[in-house]
Structure 1
Amino acid sequence: MSKETWLYLYENSELKKIYIGIGGSLGRVFQSHNKEAEELRDASKTRLLQTSMPFSSRKDALMAEAVAIYIAGLSGYEPVYDSEQQDELFKPTNIQGKKSTKYLMPAVYVRDGEIRQEQLSSAIIVPISSERIEGRPSAYGCEPPEIFAERATGYWEIASGRRSQIKHLVAVLTGSHHVILGSWEVDPEKEWKLKPIEECKTSREQSRVSIPIVNPKEANHLDIRGKTYMGRLGQRVSYSPDIQ
């Protein structure tokens, strides 16, 4: 049976500071913390609150804690952390030091249905993380198709001998869900543009190419966008079984 976990917080509206933590008992709120958290707890006008019912597992409580801290930050509060929270909940996202939580991801378009890798033909499958990287947009479901297509098309390592066989691009969300984020028709006769030399960090990247799609705005080729992809998905591109 999962151990019960309680969520609690120290909230001071005058200081605009908040500490949100989790513990295995109702008494955790009064126990030792780091210096900044204890100073906030003991400050005048600080309210101590905790959930009236426990979470059924630590994982569920961690997700609630991460979301609560994220929302508090958006509300103008300065979140107070301890080292465990920093390592387990958050990670830096840019050079300004802003942080996001691994328990939140951009909302994506999802619908019922599965597409197996062996059902696809003349297809290349590219893995897309939920995060915004290298200035390219995230997998946010309301991103215009032509904007997100810039990320989905690459640049990818694709052997020259396979390019003429590719007529379908499928972008799949990495992680545990494998939602199909977009599906585009490919024109293999168009130019497979090499990644600009100035953008290459290694000599190997100089062979990466952009996949030439027919229409960036048409992101639901063969009506599979939003369905769950069932098949191989690694850090590099994969292919439908008919591509050798």
Structure 2
Amino acid sequence: MAQETYLYLYDNLELNKVYIGIGDSMDRVWQSHNPEAEALRDVPGTTILQTVTPFSKRADARKAEAIAIHIAARMGKTVIVEDDEGRASSEISEEGAVFTVNRAGVESTKELGPAVFLREGEVDYSDLRGTAIVTIKSESMDDRPAPYGGVSAASFSERARQWWSVGTAKQPRITRLIAVLSGSDVILGDWDVDPAGSYGPDGDVFPLCDPEQDDPRGVKGMRLVPRSARRGGKMVYSSDLRG
């Protein structure tokens, strides 16, 4: 039988603080927590709430916890969570809140993320040839759209194909551009590149064959592995183009 799990919170409007947690029983609300959470729970004016009907799966409770933390952080509340050692962590930024999952806070795996297209499967970096790989952050930048699923391929391609300096020696050898979501391995788009096309006077605009075709090989939404093949937010190339 699956373990029932409860979502609960200590909410104080005057202090503008909230603690959000999950427990395997209703008694968890009153048990030992980190000192910051206990102080919030016991101070006058704190409302203590919990789900009356438990979640049938702990994984579902974790998703609900992530959503609650995200919304509270967006509303400007100080959100108290615990790490795996039971220590308090109350510094959750808006960027971190997007990816908050549970009491492990921003350091854990991610239950919430940008609403991008996903599909089963992986693309192995070692199988790529003639490929440039760029990493795109989840937020919008200037007039560059955020990489949400509703953004058209042609519109998003303008963000993926520009602002990346490509050496003249590599330009004729590149036939493919892949954009990957920062903080994950999800492929946001995959375009064919014209090896005879112009990269512009500054060498920083990939000449895409068709900006509207962002999935010619059916890999959009899959994961690019291994992550170690990429270097932070920098552009990288397939192994045949390195060096």
**TM class, shorter-chain normalised?**
0.5 to 0.7
Q: What's the secondary structure of 2:169's corresponding residue?
A: helix
Residue number in structure 1 paired with 2:30: 27
Residue number in structure 2 paired with 1:133: 141
- 1:148 positional shift: 1.2
Alignment length (residue pairs)? 213
* C-alpha separation in 2, matches of 1:31 and 1:238: 43
Once the two structures are superposed, the pairs formed by residues 1-244 of structure 1 within 5 Å of their partners are 7-10=7-10, 19-22=18-21, 25-27=28-30, 33=36, 37=40, 42-43=44-45, 47-51=47-51, 64-71=64-71, 79-82=77-80, 84-87=88-91, 90-92=92-94, 100-103=97-100, 104-176=112-184, 178-193=185-200, 209-231=204-226, 232-235=229-232, 236-244=234-242
- 1:220 positional shift: 0.8
Q: What's the secondary structure of 1:149's corresponding residue?
A: helix
* C-alpha separation in 1, matches of 2:60 and 2:89: 15
Q: What's the secondary structure of 1:215's corresponding residue?
A: coil
**Structure 2 length-normalised TM:** 0.66
* C-alpha separation in 2, matches of 1:6 and 1:109: 30
Conserved? CA contact 1:105–1:131, under 8 Å = no
In structure 2, the CA distance between the partners of 1:243 and 1:31, relative to structure 1 (3 Å rule), is closer
- 1:161 positional shift: 0.8
In structure 2, the CA distance between the partners of 1:20 and 1:135, relative to structure 1 (3 Å rule), is farther
Conserved? CA contact 1:37–1:81, under 8 Å = no
**Structure 1 length-normalised TM:** 0.66
- 1:221 positional shift: 2.2
Letter of the 1:22 counterpart: G
Conserved? CA contact 1:18–1:79, under 8 Å = yes
Conserved? CA contact 1:20–1:68, under 8 Å = no
* C-alpha separation in 1, matches of 2:20 and 2:150: 32
In structure 2, the CA distance between the partners of 1:65 and 1:126, relative to structure 1 (3 Å rule), is same
Unaligned 5+ residue runs, structure 1?
94-98, 196-207
In structure 2, the CA distance between the partners of 1:154 and 1:37, relative to structure 1 (3 Å rule), is farther
User: What CA RMSD, in Å, does the superposition of the two structures yield over aligned residues?
Assistant: 4.0
- 1:169 positional shift: 0.7
Unaligned 5+ residue runs, structure 2?
82-87, 101-111
In structure 2, the CA distance between the partners of 1:38 and 1:194, relative to structure 1 (3 Å rule), is farther
- 1:187 positional shift: 1.5
Deviations 1:86-107 (A, max 9, x none): 42xx3245xxxxx843223212
Residue number in structure 2 paired with 1:202: none
Conserved? CA contact 1:128–1:174, under 8 Å = yes
In structure 2, the CA distance between the partners of 1:28 and 1:118, relative to structure 1 (3 Å rule), is same
- Taking CA–CA contacts closer than 8 Å with sequence separation of 6 or more, which of the two structures ends up with the larger relative contact order? 1
Residue number in structure 2 paired with 1:200: none
* C-alpha separation in 2, matches of 1:47 and 1:149: 47
In structure 2, the CA distance between the partners of 1:100 and 1:147, relative to structure 1 (3 Å rule), is farther
Conserved? CA contact 2:22–2:61, under 8 Å = no
- 1:67 positional shift: 1.5
- 1:147 positional shift: 1.6
Q: What's the secondary structure of 1:221's corresponding residue?
A: coil
Letter of the 1:183 counterpart: D
- 1:68 positional shift: 0.6
